Structure 1
Amino acid sequence: MTYFHARTIEGDFETVLDRTRASLQEQGFGVLTEIDVQATLKAKIGEDFRPYRILGACNPVMAHEALKMEPHVGVMLPCNVVVQQVEDGVEVFAVDPAASMAAIENTELLQHARMVGERLNAAIDRI
């Protein structure tokens, strides 16, 4: 089992980043957090790094359902979606929530995580 779903897209980094946000929104996800890894590494340790953003995506309805099923599941929220510059374009990839939730012994939660993953995959596939 892989722990992420990925796609490489031709185009400008910022354009793909905007398209990623829009596609997530179409699937009911908001972006709660955004980490600019490139800027952070430059500021904190002086290292140059490729454009790399981590988006903390959350579907509030689905997150609420998961929290009702398992009160400690918040340690695995939100779902990370990464946009990074690669040699042949811009790669977008998202965590597979079912892979991370497999550590929790709750079959109802695992089924729910699969549904969340289907929506994340659909968002990436539609960019």
Structure 2
Amino acid sequence: MTYFYARTIEGDFEAVVERTRAALQKHGFGVLTEIDVQATLKAKIGEDFRPYRILGACNPVMAHEALKMESHVGVMLPCNVVVQQTDGGVEVFAVDPAASMSAIENAGLLRHAQTVGEHLRAAVAEV
């Protein structure tokens, strides 16, 4: 089982970040956090790195349902979606929540994570 959904597209990096935000929003996800890994590595350790952005996406209704099923599931939230520049274009990939939630012995939570994953997969496909 893979632990992420991905696709690579052509386009300007920042434009793809914005398209990713729009696709997530269409599927009920907001971006709670944004980490510019390239800028952080440059500022903290002086290293150059490719454009790499981590978006912490959250669908509040789905997160609430997960938290009702498992009080400690918050350590796995929000769902990370990454946009990175590669030699072949701009790659967009999102965590498969079912892969990470399978570590928790809760069948209901796993089914819920699969539903969340369907929405994330659809958002990645639409970017």
User: Structure 2-normalised TM-score?
Assistant: 1.00
Q: Match of 2:112?
A: 112
Does residue 10 (structure 1) correspond to residue 13 (structure 2)? The answer is no
1:37-74 alpha-carbon deviations (Å, 9 max, x no partner): 00000000000000000000000000000000000000
Alignment of 1:95-106 (within 5 A): 95-106=95-106
Q: Which amino acid aligns with 1:34?
A: E
Q: Match of 2:74?
A: 74
CA distance in 1, matches of 2:48, 2:86: 15
Unaligned runs of 5+ in 2: none
CA distance in 1, matches of 2:122, 2:9: 15
Q: Match of 2:48?
A: 48
Q: Match of 1:21?
A: 21
Unaligned runs of 5+ in 1: none
Runs (4 or more) in structure 1 with deviation over 2 Å come to none
RMSD: 0.3
- Helix, strand or coil for the counterpart of 1:21? helix
Between the two proteins, what is the percent identity of the paired residues?
A: 82
User: Structure 1-normalised TM-score?
Assistant: 1.00
> Post-superposition shift, 1:105?
0.1
Does residue 85 (structure 1) correspond to residue 85 (structure 2)? The answer is yes
- Helix, strand or coil for the counterpart of 2:32? strand
CA distance in 1, matches of 2:11, 2:126: 15
1:4-60 alpha-carbon deviations (Å, 9 max, x no partner): 000001000000000000000000000000000000000000000000000000000
- Helix, strand or coil for the counterpart of 1:71? coil
How many residues get paired?
A: 127
